[in-house]
Amino acid sequence: STDSSSGAGLRLDYTTALTDRLSWQAGAQSRVNMDSFASYRGIYSEPGTFDIPASANFGLGLAVTKEMQLTVGVERVMYSQVAPFTSSALPSRFLALLSSSASPVFAWQDLDVYSIGGLWHDPQFGDLSIRYSTREQPLPTSPLLQQALPEISPRNVEVGYAHGLGQNSTLRLMAAYVPIEYIPGIPQSYSLSKGGNQFEWGAIWITSF
């Protein structure tokens, strides 16, 4: 069987130059309430709900040369606002605690993600970027549940390439490497990763109108 989910939200971004070489950027995104997946259910038979949490971010950019830019950023992801999904993909020790008579409260902590990156621009070749960021999976609010989880990846590395296709279109290619296993069933702030210690990639075609 197949299933689909949709939702709507609002995102605002603002960027401006402070000097000829220094700029700053800020953004905010509302929570996106996604439709439940009727054919995908958790261990308590609740339908699969994967709402996208609200977030806010701030960053600085420094133009080292005309072609090279360095960036630093921080993002706050409000995972505490979304209900966790008790997927069977969560570790068995974790699920055993939830099923016990002294079951702790299952909720996610908000998450801060820090990043540093570089961008190289060439008018003919396109844009080549690399980004290093800290942990992107939240932890449970309960210390007992935290102890039941294996080690979560403390970092990941992403590379990207963008090239204009005409006046209004852009092709973006992305690849990510996760050095330590991501835990299935625990959400990530933006990564598409569902496995661990692996490479992942994606492609986006953007059209402006």
Q: In which band, very low, low, confident or very high, does the pLDDT at 191 lie, cut at 50, 70 and 90?
A: very low
User: Mean pLDDT, to the nearest integer, of 47-65?
Assistant: 90
Other Cβ atoms less than 10 A from the Cβ of 133: the count is 21
Other Cβ atoms less than 10 A from the Cβ of 155: the count is 15
In the predicted structure, residue 186 carries a pLDDT above the cut 70: no
Q: How far is CA 8 from CA 40, 51, 56, 59, in A?
A: 21, 10, 17, 25
Q: Decide: pTM greater than 0.85.
A: no
